[in-house]
Amino acid sequence: MMPVWFSLSLKFLFIGFVAVSVGLWLGATAGWAVACLGLALLHAVHVYQLARLQRWLQSPKVEYLPDPWGAWGEVFAGIYRALRYEARKHDAVDKELELFTQAAQALPDGIAMLDSGDQLLWCNDTAAAHLGLQTGRDYGLRLTNIVRVPRLAAFLQSASPEETLDYRPAHNAGQLLSFKAIPFSDGRKLLVSFDITKIERADTTRRDFIANVSHELRTPLTVIHGFLEHMSDAPVMPAEQARRHIALMVQQSDRMLKLVDDLLMLSRLEGGDSPQREERVDIAVLLQGLAEDTRALSAGRHTIELTVDDGAAITGSTDELRSAFGNLASNAVRYTPQGGTVALQWRIDEQHRGLFSVRDTGIGIAAEHIPRLTERFYRVDRGRSRETGGTGLGLAIVKHVLLRHQATLEIQSEPGEGSEFRIVFPPWRSVLEAPLAQADAA
């Protein structure tokens, strides 16, 4: 296409040529008249094109660019190309910005961007939830005017990436947050918030656990220590008294051993999600042994009943299941007064789930304790648990064994009436023997 200056020059030359020709032919006045008319026409065309361009520039949208004429076509096409190029650049920048925003939104931690005056420029949804902000509405407001925590204002003043501020938001007191303020570009700050509630809870649990273990070990140790001191102060003591002391020391050391054994078992169980070795567990054999152990523990004080469906077997770890079943059976004996009954039962239900239950006619448990029974060291009656040789870890062990076998524990109990602890295994753990499988097929 022709450049504007060239096209204009041609038109001037053409008007000049026509005007001179007419002047020579019809006289100078006619020549000047043609020249004036030609220039006026040229002027009008350009003024019109300029006016269209000016009108369009007031709202320069590519799709509304006027249709060009003549030499102006090149000008308009140039503008069009420049605009398309800018629009494409904008699109690319917008897309990248959107990507960054999405990435910041996807972060599990809160991010809020503040300007040098601590005014909120942007924040992701997590930061909004942590700080009780509304994204969009609170942009441009000073953060310390929205979150009125004096410690936060002081923290932002002395922003340093090494420092952290821990704080419980007023709108969610159960949550513990940790903040970091990271300075960047011209006094702006990135306020990063982390939810450390779980870490704090785990820390408290760990501390409680250590305190509990220390306390549990300290009690028998104090008893043993007392006897030993007494014996060293009185090296000569009647044989009967010495025998009694030694028997009590053996009892206390047994208690410590049992506690350490349970702790080791728990830590082994917590070390993985499933048993290291899965095998076919013959429930009938396992429960025969368990019933004998339970009778030995009861020493004739209770009636022990055992009911096992024929051909019952499941896949799992024999040792772990023996420990879980044993804990339930020994609890039933320990919390059932003399003359009571303990019933052990195994069956496979219609949905092929293996069900093991231990029912007793013992002291029972009040409803409010039931949800907490499987917590480590949780006891309804500490004195009774200790008296009967309990470590407070039995049901925690049961819980972990069941987790590793994808089984669940159901507890029903009535104070003064007795309790039923029932383990429900998933159907895929049941090994169905021939008669049951055939009956199913038929």
Burial of 88 (0-12, 13-18, 19+ CB in 10 A): exposed
Closest approach of Cβ 349 to ligand ADP, in Å? 23
Residue in the block written with tokens 């049961």: 398
Point out which span in 140-148, 306-314, 362-370, 430-438 binds ligand ADP (CB under 6 A): 362-370
Closest approach of Cβ 166 to ligand ADP, in Å? 34
Return the residue of 223, 380, 431, 436 that touches ligand ADP, per CB under 6 A. 380
CA–CA gap between residue 236 and residue 250 (Å, rounded): 20
Return the residue of 385, 400, 401, 429 that touches ligand ADP, per CB under 6 A. 385
Give 166's strand partners.
178
Under the binding rule (CB under 6 A), the answer on residue 294 touching ligand ADP is no
* Stretch 308-347: interaction string toward ligand ADP, x if CB under 6 A: -------------------x---xx--x------------
Residue 426 in contact with residue 352, Cβ under 8 Å?
no
Closest approach of Cβ 384 to ligand ADP, in Å? 7
**By C-alpha distance, which of 15, 87, 80 is closest to 45?**
15
DSSP H stretches of helix in 110-196: 125-131, 143-146, 150-157
Under the binding rule (CB under 6 A), the answer on residue 365 touching ligand ADP is yes
Which are the contacts of 166, defined by CB distance < 8 A and separation ≥ 6?
176, 177, 178, 179, 196
Return the residue of 395, 402, 407, 423 that touches ligand ADP, per CB under 6 A. 395
Return the residue of 152, 390, 405, 409 that touches ligand ADP, per CB under 6 A. 390
* Stretch 397-436: interaction string toward ligand ADP, x if CB under 6 A: ----------------------x-----------------
Which are the contacts of 110, defined by CB distance < 8 A and separation ≥ 6?
123, 124, 126, 127, 128, 129, 130, 131, 177, 191, 192, 193, 194
Element (H, E) at 167: strand 165-167
Closest approach of Cβ 379 to ligand ADP, in Å? 3
Please give the residue ranges that form the binding site for ligand ADP (CB under 6 A). 327, 331-332, 335, 360, 362-363, 365, 373, 378-381, 385, 390-396, 419
